[in-house]
Structure formats: structure tokens, C-alpha cells
């Protein structure tokens, strides 16, 4: 373990991240890392087309464009969404403020961020001009209360009857309140980071603006205790968002140093009950290894010294499938163990298109196509193939997607990517259990329960289950993206395309 610790400390990825997350930002200096008013002030500065950042309309346009792929619930019509998507419009008569005082028939309150402007687009037949009202309810760690979103929206619709109202609810934790917020675009700080702030860094900008944006990104990713606007500090730490680049590095570090990091976590947290849910059957092996090597104190000290960064690495570098109840429990156990409230990782979702250009994903109750995570998208890839080959057998499907070409590391455990469904004995694998005693029984590799009933194929009367593709894997010294390998293979051989939503 000593040699692994030395290697970890000398790893260029660790050194970069350690320097990055321990950098002092203006938010740290002013002790305002988690104050909602401070985040609202920053966003107002960023979205102001006349702001000192000199980025003009780009931040606001990127925010509005992002809404096109957010659950719409018919808030905006297709014509407006398309205009926001293309972005070939001018913004005029712009005004933005924070803490806008409003009052409806029943309630009153303050809109965190309020913007008023019109969008103008020249057209050969008829120019397009429309007044826009944007209201942003911003949450850092507080929750929706007093029916405030309804109050703000009702006020805006009454005050600006002929305008297009764009209501936005910004929260790090949408899963907690999405059922309570009606007729709002619900977005996260992760969304703002990935779709607005990070893309802006690709633009030409002055040094001061770049420093401010980078400081804000660091601030979002640091584990910090929330401070309310009265200066009261909570005991629970929060993480609001993490950059794409860093999440990729986290995942690679976890794979390169999995024994060291897993053992250090177990040594530090010792008998915490959450460890059982995180490591499951492997926990006893980890504890035995720590005891045999007499390194509990060393590993515990290593974790304690690097605790801030290691917790972030685990929370955002470890892949969890949100469709899988057990995987979700692991994620929840990590948060509880670390005493951190962290936003869910930003799942990229996909749409699968068959060789005739037809989208085959399921639709919601309004007929809109639903983008899905990697695990479900892989099923739709196989379903697209099955629909193209209606007389195919299980053997044909196996030949169409051979394990050695679509997911070569699975060869070590599974003979095929597909198995005939057997409710009593679903997990079938090769006999190489001596070499892979733990991996030979990986329950999450198959869809389970209700998911098994929903995501299966029927080929000539035979019910077929598939392995799930949702994670990067370490194969030797190489990191393999299972899903990309599969989707590239399907497009090359069968014309089945997979697009990010």
C-alpha cells in the first residue's frame, strides 16, 4: 500500500485536482460559497448582456437554448423553442435585476432573478418580435415554500399579458421537488455549468472574466457548508456541480487506484453501516486485506489527509445507474457516509434511431419522445435490430452483437451479451469462477424486477434478456467506454444511430 500511496501522490491527475480544489477563490475569501443571494448576484452578472464580462448575449442565449432539451410541459410552443435553439435573434430593451418584489392576489414575495427584454428576428416575409419575461427561482439548499413559484408566475402572466413567460426553477437537487413544481423549467447547477459556463470558456474573453468564471466553477465543486443569508452555518456540506473534465478524471483515478481508495475508505470509516451497502459482498475481503497487511492506521490517515478531494472523487467519479434501485442506494449510502448533500451526477441521455431514421424510444403521456440513460438506450439498440430482423432467433442476435467485439471484457465472465430469460436462475456465466470469484455473479448486469418485465426482447417466442451497458471499465491499462463501443458498432454494421439528447 505504501508504494500505491506514493504513486497516487505523484499522479499528475491527482496533483492537478488537489491544486484545483484547494485553490482559494473570491467566494472562499468572502465566506459566501453557499449563500443564495451571492449565487443570484453572480448569475445576474453573467446573464446581463451589458455586463462587464463583455460576453454580450452569449450567456443568456446559451441558457435559453438549454431549455429546449429540458422537460417543457408545453410551457413554450414549438416555434419559440426552435427560435431559442437556433439563436439567430437579437436581444433588445434588456433589463435584469435580483430580488424583484412582486405581489399576487394571495401572496407576495421576491423573484430571485427577473429579466425583461424582447427578441427580434428579421424575416423576408414578416419580422418576428416578441417580449420575453424570464423569472428564475434560485435554490441552493433551501426548498420550495409558500407556493412561491405559483405566485411569481401568476404575477408575471397578469403584469405582462402579451409577453412570453419563461419560468425557471434552479436547484442542485431536482429529485427532491420535481413533483411539487408545476409549469416551470427545472434545471440544475450542473446544467448551468455544463451548458452555459463551460462552453463560454471556449470563447475569447479577457483575463478577469476568465478568472471569475473559473473561480465560480471551483466554488460549485468544493464541498462546503451552507451559510444562509443571516450568516447561520449548517452542519451538512454540499456540492453543487462538477465539471465534465473533472468527472472523467475522477472516474479514471478510481479505476487506477481502486484497491488503495476502497481500502482507505473502509479503514477510515471502519464500522459504519453504510459500508455494507457500498461494497456489499466485497467488504469482508477488503477488511481482511487491511488486517493481513496491518495497514489500517496508515490508510485511515491517508484518507483523512485527502478527505475533501476523495469524497468528491467517489461521489462524481463512480458511475451509478439511476434506473437501478440498488445502485441508487449505493449512491445514497455514500452521501450519508460522507455527510454530504450532492446533486445527482448529470446523466447524459440518448435517443436511438433505427436504420430508417425513425426514433424508437418510448414516449411520455403527451407523445413526446423520452431520452433515456445508457442502460436503457442499449436495450433500444438491440430492439431496433430485432425490429429490422423480425424472424431472428436468439442465436442470430448473439451473432449480430458478439461479446468479443461489443464488450470484450465481458468475455472473461459471460459467453454472450444475451440470455434466455429464466426467472429462477437469471445469472448465467462461464465457468471461470476460480479466476473471477466475485465477478462471476454480478446481479446488476441484468435488468431486474419491473425493469426485466419492461426491457426484454421476444425472438420467435423466446424471452431474451441483455447485459447492461452504462459504465466505463478498466481493461488492463486502458479505459473502455462500453456504451460507445456498442453504439459505434451498431451504427457501423446496422445503421442504428444513437444521439445525445
Query: pLDDT tens digit string along 127-148?
Result: 788 999 999 999 886 666 557 8
The residue-averaged pLDDT of 319-325 equals 49
Q: How far apart (Å, rounded) are the C-alpha atoms in residues 149 and 167? A: 8
Is beta strand 457-459 parallel, antiparallel or unpaired with respect to 224-227? Answer: unpaired
Is beta strand 233-239 parallel, antiparallel or unpaired with respect to 224-227? Answer: antiparallel
Which grid coordinates belong to 474? 478498466
When mean pLDDT is compared over 312-316, 475-479, 491-495, the highest value belongs to 491-495
Task: Specify the pLDDT at position 33.
Answer: 77
Weakest-pLDDT range from 12-21, 121-130, 133-142, 212-221: 121-130
Confidence of residue 178 (pLDDT cuts 50, 70, 90): low
Task: Specify the pLDDT at position 441.
Answer: 43
Confidence of residue 214 (pLDDT cuts 50, 70, 90): very high
Question: What's the whole-number average pLDDT of the chain?
Answer: 83
Torsion of CA 148, 152, 155, 158, to 10 degrees: -120
Task: Specify the pLDDT at position 409.
Answer: 65
Distance from the Cα of residue 98 to its chain's centroid: 28
Beta-carbon count within 10 A of 309 CB:
19
Q: Reduced to 3 states, what is the DSSP secondary structure of residue 168?
A: strand
Residue 231: pLDDT over 50: yes
Burial code of 383-421, b = ≥16 C-beta within 10 A, e = fewer?
A: bbbbbeeeebebeebbebbebeebbebbeebbebbbbeb
Residue with cell 424570464: 134
Task: Specify the pLDDT at position 72.
Answer: 60
Residue with cell 405559483: 150
Q: How far apart (Å, rounded) are the C-alpha atoms in residues 407 and 422? A: 23
Is beta strand 185-187 parallel, antiparallel or unpaired with respect to 164-170? Answer: parallel
Q: How far apart (Å, rounded) are the C-alpha atoms in residues 164 and 75? A: 9
Task: Specify the pLDDT at position 146.
Answer: 56
Q: Reduced to 3 states, what is the DSSP secondary structure of residue 89?
A: coil
Task: Specify the pLDDT at position 125.
Answer: 66
Q: Where are the domains of the chain?
A: 2-16+240-342, 34-221, 350-500
Beta-carbon count within 10 A of 127 CB:
9
Q: How far apart (Å, rounded) are the C-alpha atoms in residues 92 and 81? A: 18
Residue 323: pLDDT over 50: no
Residue 7: pLDDT over 60: yes
Closest alpha carbon to 471 in 398, 373, 385, 350: 373
Residue with cell 431474451: 464
Residue 438: pLDDT over 50: no
Residue 276: pLDDT over 70: yes
Residue with cell 432467433: 393
Confidence of residue 396 (pLDDT cuts 50, 70, 90): very high
Three-state SS string over 327-348 comes to HHHHHHHHHHHHCEEECCCCCC
Q: How far apart (Å, rounded) are the C-alpha atoms in residues 327 and 20? A: 29
Residue with cell 478510481: 254
Q: How far apart (Å, rounded) are the C-alpha atoms in residues 141 and 240? A: 9
Q: How far apart (Å, rounded) are the C-alpha atoms in residues 128 and 151? A: 30
Residue with cell 465457468: 431
Q: Reduced to 3 states, what is the DSSP secondary structure of residue 501?
A: coil
Closest alpha carbon to 154 in 145, 165, 143: 165
Task: Specify the pLDDT at position 70.
Answer: 77
Beta bridge partners, 122, equal none
Q: How far apart (Å, rounded) are the C-alpha atoms in residues 211 and 476? A: 38
DSSP secondary structure letters along 96-160: EEEEEEEE-SS-EEEEEEEEEEEEEE--SS--EEEEEEEEEEE-SS----TTHHHHHHHHHHHHT
For residue 135, give Cα distances in angstroms to 71, 104, 211. Answer: 17, 15, 28
Q: How far apart (Å, rounded) are the C-alpha atoms in residues 253 and 318? A: 10
Residue 437: pLDDT over 90: no
Residue 32: pLDDT over 60: yes
Higher pLDDT, 171 or 375: 171
Weakest-pLDDT range from 234-238, 291-295, 449-453: 449-453
Write phi, then psi, for 314 (nearest 5 degrees): -70, -45
Check if the beta carbon of residue 146 is closer than 8 Å to that of residue 107: yes
Distance from the Cα of residue 151 to its chain's centroid: 30
Higher pLDDT, 163 or 473: 163
Check if the beta carbon of residue 75 is closer than 8 Å to that of residue 185: yes
Which grid coordinates belong to 204? 475569447
Q: Reduced to 3 states, what is the DSSP secondary structure of residue 482?
A: helix
For residue 41, give Cα distances in angstroms to 47, 138, 238, 475. Answer: 10, 11, 19, 46
When mean pLDDT is compared over 192-206, 237-251, 271-285, 369-383, the highest value belongs to 192-206
Higher pLDDT, 343 or 101: 101
When mean pLDDT is compared over 177-181, 232-236, 269-273, the highest value belongs to 269-273
DSSP secondary structure letters along 268-317: HHTT-THHHHHHGGGHHHHHHHHHHHT-HHHHHHHHHHTHHHHHHHHHHH
Amino acid at each position: 500500500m505504501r508504494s500505491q500511496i506514493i504513486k497516487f501522490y505523484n499522479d499528475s491527475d491527482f496533483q492537478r485536482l488537489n491544486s484545483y480544489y484547494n485553490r482559494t477563490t473570491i467566494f472562499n475569501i468572502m465566506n459566501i460559497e453557499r449563500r443564495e443571494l451571492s449565487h443570484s448576484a453572480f448569475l445576474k452578472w453573467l446573464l446581463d448582456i451589458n455586463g462587464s464580462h463583455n460576453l454580450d448575449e452569449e450567456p443568456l442565449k446559451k441558457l435559453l437554448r438549454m431549455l429546449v432539451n429540458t422537460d417543457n410541459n408545453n410551457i413554450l410552443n414549438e416555434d419559440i423553442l426552435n427560435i431559442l435553439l437556433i439563436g439567430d435573434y437579437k436581444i433588445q430593451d434588456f433589463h435584469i435585476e435580483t430580488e424583484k418584489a412582486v405581489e399576487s392576489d394571495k401572496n407576495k414575495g421576491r423573484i430571485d432573478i427577473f429579466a425583461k427584454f424582447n427578441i427580434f428576428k428579421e424575416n423576408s416575409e414578416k419580422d418576428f418580435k416578441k417580449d420575453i419575461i424570464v423569472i428564475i427561482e434560485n435554490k441552493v439548499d433551501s426548498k420550495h415554500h409558500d407556493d412561491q413559484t405559483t405566485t411569481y408566475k401568476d404575477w408575471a402572466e397578469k403584469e405582462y399579458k402579451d409577453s412570453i413567460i419563461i419560468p425557471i426553477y434552479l436547484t442542485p437537487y431536482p429529485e427532491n421537488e420535481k413533483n411539487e413544481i408545476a409549469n416551470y423549467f427545472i434545471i440544475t447547477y450542473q446544467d448551468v455549468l455544463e451548458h452555459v459556463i463551460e462552453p463560454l470558456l471556449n470563447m475569447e474573453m479577457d483575463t478577469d472574466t476568465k478568472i471569475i468564471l473559473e473561480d465560480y466553477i471551483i466554488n460549485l465543486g468544493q464541498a462546503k457548508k451552507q451559510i444562509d443569508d443571516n450568516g447561520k452555518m449548517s452542519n451538512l456540506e454540499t456540492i453543487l456541480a462538477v465539471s465534465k473534465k473533472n468527472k472523467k478524471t475522477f472516474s479514471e483515478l478510481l479505476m487506477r487506484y481502486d484497491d488503495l481508495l476502497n481500502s482507505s475508505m473502509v479503514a477510515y470509516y471502519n464500522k459504519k453501516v453504510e459500508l455494507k451497502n457500498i461494497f456489499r459482498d466485497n467488504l469482508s475481503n477488503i477488511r481482511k486485506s487491511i488486517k493481513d497487511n496491518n495497514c489500517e492506521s496508515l490508510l485511515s490517515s491517508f484518507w483523512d489527509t485527502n478527505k475533501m478531494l476523495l469524497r468528491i472523487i467517489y461521489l462524481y467519479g463512480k458511475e451509478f445507474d439511476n434506473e437501478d434501485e440498488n445502485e441508487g442506494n449505493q449512491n445514497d449510502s455514500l452521501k450519508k457516509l460522507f455527510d454530504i448533500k450532492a446533486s445527482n451526477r448529470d446523466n447524459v441521455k440518448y435517443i436511438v434511431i433505427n436504420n430508417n431514421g425513425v426514433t424508437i424510444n418510448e414516449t411520455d403521456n403527451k407523445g413526446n419522445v423520452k431520452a433515456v440513460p445508457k442502460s436503457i438506450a442499449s436495450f433500444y439498440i438491440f430492439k431496433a435490430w430485432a425490429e429490422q430482423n423480425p424472424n431472428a432467433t436468439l442465436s442470430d442476435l448473439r451473432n449480430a452483437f458478439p461479446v468479443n467485439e461489443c464488450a470484450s471484457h465481458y468475455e472473461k465472465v459471460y459467453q454472450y451479451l444475451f440470455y434466455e430469460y429464466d426467472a429462477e436462475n437469471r445469472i448465467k456465466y462461464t465457468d471461470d469462477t476460480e479466476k473471477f470469484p466475485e465477478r462471476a455473479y454480478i446481479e446488476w448486469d441484468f435488468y431486474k424486477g419491473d425493469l426485466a418485465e419492461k426491457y426484454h426482447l421476444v425472438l420467435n417466442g423466446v424471452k431474451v434478456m441483455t447485459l447492461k451497458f452504462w459504465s466505463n471499465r478498466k481493461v488492463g491499462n486502458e479505459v473502455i467506454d462500453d456504451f460507445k463501443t456498442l453504439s459505434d458498432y451498431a451504427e457501423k454494421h446496422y445503421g442504428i444511430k444513437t444521439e445525445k439528447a
